[in-house]
């Protein structure tokens, strides 16, 4: 077997780096709360001075900024924003609305990606807060 073939086999069998439990908890928090945010919930964590949240207003602004930037970059070659507004007023089919919204965002996953980006800076703190709450509940017997 050639050295190149051996190297290819070794490369093909590489495993991804291990994921720590902390990283896994953050990933799970991000996934769950990105979906909650998209569905209209406010995502919050902490208490009093350590309290934080990401609201629908934050998501709306981030989506608007994303769509505006795509238009500035010349990505809206179909005048999709105009089509979307007209469709939302009831002058077109709802499938056109979805198609134009996805086109403006750039992909079907862009909305979730935007929600994840809004939440990422807060994941470690939110998970640490939840773990502390869980420990307190166990101690108190809840």
pLDDT tens per residue, range 81-113: 998 888 888 887 767 888 899 999 999 999 999
Q: Is residue 137 part of a domain?
A: yes
Structural domain for 97, as ranges: 74-108
User: Is the C-alpha dihedral spanning 54, 58, 62, 67 positive or negative?
Assistant: positive
Grouping H, G, I as helix, E, B as strand and the rest as coil, residue 16 is: coil
- Please report whether residue 86 resides in a domain: yes
Total domains in the fold of the chain: 2
Inside any domain, residue 130: yes
Q: Which residue has the tokens 């902390």?
A: 22
pLDDT tens-digit profile of 20-40? 666 899 999 999 999 999 999
Confidence band for 15, pLDDT divided at 50, 70 and 90: low
Whole-prediction pTM: 0.76
Confidence class for position 41, pLDDT limits 50, 70, 90: very high
Query: Residue 11 and residue 15: Cα distance in Å, rounded?
Result: 9
Say if residue 115 is in the same domain as residue 141. Answer: yes
Does the residue 126 lie in any domain?
Answer: yes
User: H/E element holding 114?
Assistant: helix 110-119
């Amino acid at each position: 077997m050639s050295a190149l073939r051996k190297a290819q086999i070794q490369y093909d069998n590489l495993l991804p780096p291990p994921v720590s439990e902390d990283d896994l908890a953050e990933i799970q928090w991000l996934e769950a709360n990105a979906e909650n945010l998209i569905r209209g919930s406010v995502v919050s964590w902490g208490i009093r001075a350590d309290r934080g949240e990401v609201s629908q207003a934050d998501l709306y602004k981030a989506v608007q900024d994303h769509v505006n930037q795509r238009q500035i970059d010349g990505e809206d070659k179909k005048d999709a924003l105009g089509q979307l507004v007209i469709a939302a007023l009831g002058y077109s089919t709802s499938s056109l609305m979805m198609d134009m919204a996805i086109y403006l965002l750039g992909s079907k996953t862009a909305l979730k990606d935007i929600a994840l980006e809004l939440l990422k800076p807060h994941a470690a703190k939110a998970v640490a807060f939840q773990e502390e709450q869980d420990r307190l509940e166990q101690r108190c017997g809840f």
